Structure 1
Amino acid sequence: MTDFATRALELDRSDPLRDYPALFLGSDDPQVVAYLDGNSLGRPTRATARRLADFVTAGWGGRLIRGWDEQWFDLPLTIGDRIGAAVLGAAAGQTTVGDSTTVLLYKLARGALALRPDRTEIVLDRDNFPTDRYLLESISTELGLTLRWIEPDAAGGVSARDVVDAVSERTALVVLSHVAYRSGYLLDAPAISAAAHDAGALLLLDLCHSVGSVEIELDTWAVDFAVGCTYKYLNGGPGAPAFAYVAAAHQAEFGQPIWGWMGRENPFEMAQGYVPAAGIRRVISGTPAIVGMIPIQDTLDLIEEVGMTAVRAKSVALTEFALELTRSWLLPLGVQVSSPLDAARRGGHVTIDHPRFREITARLWQRGVIPDFRPPQGIRLGLSPLSTTFGEVFAGVSAIRDELAAH
């Protein structure tokens, strides 16, 4: 019989990223046996604690209003370019940071639809994250457009064939999540981009559950627009600002509906009338959340150091180990795997289902094992490659086994 405890130790010892979990706060907290929710909220780095303290005293406290001229005004674009280069496969000048995912999704969707004024449909799927669905329902009502729904398999996701079947000469925009928030299904983004474009439609990807866990090549895939959050695998902290990507080919004609002074040409002139700034700055509306951008830089430092290929390899190894434990321990107890078994079609988390998981999740939290629960009966094991160890995966899945067996 496999000694999984020994396997976990061996996997941690041979892990090329084995030194990185210690760089995160809480990694040595004895009350947290296994943190398996990095796909909802990433741990802070130790460097972030120092950087935030230094910002309060030296940056904000020392430079005061001078900070805007010296660094802060361009920070959304500076960090945007770093995000683009490190994790999006995006050339400079196409990514900016600011607002929440919801607000940026609204801006990009409205701007994209305005580029296809003679088309009447938006294609999306029933299993997309609630915000995406609700927001597009709102936009369709506002503009009198039709939503064409794809009905994917709950344990899978939207295929290129699904998109081909859904799009037509009426389709203005296709909006999908690159990694499905519940199942972890990883889209075939190049094929879906081609399917949308063959129909003359535009593609907007939600990258919230993929950025920082899987390799992304927005420019190569010819994605038109993308949005994503920074508090999951980029460890930006609760409510950290999201990012928006607008392909360079669309920027000259792209207009977003929330006009604010920071997105205007020469904003400090305080001139009458709105004239959008050139390039990606036109996505910005009001004063950006400078404090919220600070922690993102520390995770970008780490990703730039190791590269996304290594991050993705660790992610696959973690989810494969979680599935191996699940097959041996949990399937005999009635658990069902609700994520793709093929690593090429799976993001950075694994979802398992059981009728008792809602109550069990609460008990797991009490014993220091922290996954999250997703209705109707799923536990998500969110495994953040830079901060999660194989020992945590072993401890977490064994605790689930014990809870199922004991009650």
Structure 2
Amino acid sequence: MRLKIFILFNFLLVALPAYQSVGQECAVDTVVAEAASMGCVPASESAGIPDQSFLDSVLDADNGISFKPVYYGEVFTNAHGGITTKNSTHYEGLLDLAFSFDLEKMQAALPGRVNLLFQNTHGRGLEQNVGATQIISNIDSLDNITQFSELWWEVDLYETGITMRVGRQDLSSEFVTMDTASDFINSAFGLSPSAGLPSFPAPSPAVIMMTDLSNDLSIRGGIWDAYRSNEAGIFSNNGSALFIGEFEYRYSTPFRQLPGIFTAGVTYETPGAIPAGAIPSAFGYYFQIEQMLFREPGSNDENPQGLTVFAQHFPTESNGNSPFPQIPKDVLAGLTYTGLINGRDKDIAGAGLGWVELQNSGTNEELMVEVFYKAIVNDNLTIQPDLQYFNSPSGIYPDAFVAGVRFQLDL
């Protein structure tokens, strides 16, 4: 019964925006008198007007200070399998408050830019109901947090073309990330907390360098304080450091000039120690590809409607037993379609899968499949129904089926 209600609710959330596009522009020959009855905005009235937010910022980006608040909320239920379906419908929320300071516009003594991100999570995820290694939601912090997750200073190094960033930062903001996969909800499509890398909900201090060798090729590298926890303090004091290097090549196919991105990187974690045991050194490498296969006629680079596929492979090898959960191999693959429904040019539909090799006995593997539809209701609100299926969660639990819906509110 609970699953039927969720499916019906999700269908209505998708069908309603598809029936009437909020704030869409009228056809050229639509008169203003007809506009009100159609629910669209004449182009003469919408052109040149910046997007409005529910909360107009008192900060002025022209003076070097900007502020971007975003709220994510979601309800998920474990409809079948996993650890238990009892009391398995939960709400979880994330508040992001991002501040950016352009020091040159502010006429400060230091050059460059400073970014600060405050985060608060509340509610409860489904991990204790499903038991999946690939965590169901990328806003699930496992334990609720109220913290400054990021605080870093970025500066361009004179005429070298190199940008340096120093401070506490999320590794996934620049490394091991795929834009095409960013709309999926399962954390495996970004950087799952189970991967043990310094990302949400526990970024750590780092120094990174980035440069563009050409319009098509970029390289970046960094060193992080590895295995940072949410405990108080700046550094983890476990003696382990993470080194990462990555290059990204942007290209277009010879025929039809469809855009693609190929990324490759390597990671190395030095040995360390925590009360639970010694941390062994570990080496990993990864490959990622994003490729547009079909672009709808009339779409452009700013809004490339059509079908895009992506894939990632990230094996790691540890020189000994680790006190942290280990994922020796993982594979991600999926596709997204922007503008699948006529008149909903910015909506995104997606389907993807993630597979991980485990060392937990049982099947020693877990397969996850996710499908979603992200409806852009207006400039401030998106609604995203989502379904996920897990084959052998953590390698030891019965197959699970999860259903939910997320909303994103750009304040």
TM-score interval for Structure 1 and Structure 2 normalised by the shorter chain: under 0.3
When normalised by structure 2's length, the TM-score is: 0.24
When normalised by structure 1's length, the TM-score is: 0.24
Q: Using CA pairs under 8 Å that are at least 6 residues apart, name the structure with larger relative contact order, 1 or 2.
A: 1
Structure ranking higher in helix proportion = 1
Structure ranking higher in strand proportion = 2
